[in-house]
Amino acid sequence: MVDEKAIQMAQEKFGALVRKQLERVEVLKNEGDWVDYSKLDKLIIGVCGGDGIGPYICASAQKVMEVLLADKIAAGKVEISRSTDSPSRGAWRS
């Protein structure tokens, strides 16, 4: 049995979420303070695992980035910098 009312509610909520994000994109576009990352000499991507399951997820995500960006990493255009400090230990608090 299909719950049409539940489907309709989900569509409305998802539609509202998409509208909100598209409005946010337009606001960001109009700010005019964009960085053209393709013009940088090198892009450094910082990876921090966090606590709990975070380090495992970040390690897998880093492997994916390394595969997808292999040519740019080899050319020295991208560097992935992994932090071993955990935010819960106060490593990033100022």
Question: How do residues 24-60 score in pLDDT, each as one tens digit?
Answer: 999 988 887 778 888 889 999 988 887 788 888 888 9
Using a pLDDT cut of 90, give the percent of the chain over it: 53
pTM strictly above 0.75: no
| 8 Å CB contact between 51 and 86 | yes
Burial group, residue 77, by CB count within 10 angstroms (0-12, 13-18, 19+): middle
Q: Cβ atoms within 10 A of the Cβ of 49, count?
A: 20
Distance CA 17, CA 20 (A): 5
Decide: helix, strand or coil at residue 80: strand
Q: To which residue do tokens 């606590």 refer?
A: 51
